[in-house]
Amino acid sequence: MVSIMFEDGARIYFVTGNAYKFEEAARALENVGIKLIMKDLDIDEPQSDSLEYIASKCALEAMKVLKGPLLVEDSGLFIQSLGGFPGPYSSYVYRKIGCSGILKLLRGSEDRDAYFKCVVAFASSSQKKPALFKSLVHGIISDEIRGKRAFGFDPIFIPRGFSDTFANMNIEVKNTISHRGKAFKAFVRWFTSKKP
Give the C-alpha separation, 56 to 123, whole Å: 8
DSSP 181: H
Could you give the 3-state DSSP secondary structure of residue 74?
strand
- On the question of a cis peptide bond just before residue 86, with omega within 30 degrees of 0, the verdict is yes
Catalytic residues: 74
List, in sequence order, every beta strand (DSSP E) within 86-187: 86-87, 113-123, 131-141, 157-159
Cα 102-167-77 angle, rounded to 5 deg: 40
CA dihedral 37→43→46→47, nearest 10 degrees, is 90
Burial profile 35-69: b = 16 or more Cβ within 10 angstroms, e = fewer = ebebbebebeeeeeeebbebbbbbbebbbeeeebb
